Structure 1
Amino acid sequence: MSGLQRHVVVVTGGVSVGEYDLVEDVLRDMGLEIIFNKVAIRPGKPTVFARGGDWLVFALPGNPVSSFVTFEFLVRPALGRMCGLRTPERPSFLLARAFR
């Protein structure tokens, strides 16, 4: 992990548009720059990425499936790149039967 030169925080929940979804406002109040606050994937649309100084913050949806998807597609590859890996390793499986 010697390649990791930043602090990374991963938060789940509080990033959608509900009354208690305050993470994006809190990150702004902390002086972090919001890079994006939505992604074009489902599940996982309400996802926030912010940075400030040596800090990177990934704020993922509270739904467990959405959180898993956004972690696998955004956070894991970002951490891998920060640690010097070229491409994220994706597991592969042999299915017992075809599916549609």
Structure 2
Amino acid sequence: MGESHHQVGQGALVVGALGVVYGDIGTSPLYAMREAFTEPTHVLHVDKINVYGVGSLAFWALILIISVKYLYFVMRADNRGEGGILALTSL
């Protein structure tokens, strides 16, 4: 009985840690976009090309890092042969 409680607690800790990590990674491109155009620290001028470049970088960073890693995590979840979101909700 104590062993299953320990496993449940450890699983909840892992899911919580993943939420913190993915949440932090998800907001990092937004901070990078703000910092890219700060005058005292960087010399990147605000013009059409630079805005598109930094915006594209932030967009693809959000899409690729968050979506691909989250989908990889979700698809690996297993609950007696069931996978995906339903397996995560049963954990």
User: TM-score, normalised to structure 1's length?
Assistant: 0.30
Q: Answer with 1 or 2: which has the greater Rg.
A: 2
More strand by share: 1
More helix by share: 2
The structure, 1 or 2, with the larger RCO (C-alpha pairs under 8 Å, 6+ apart) is 1
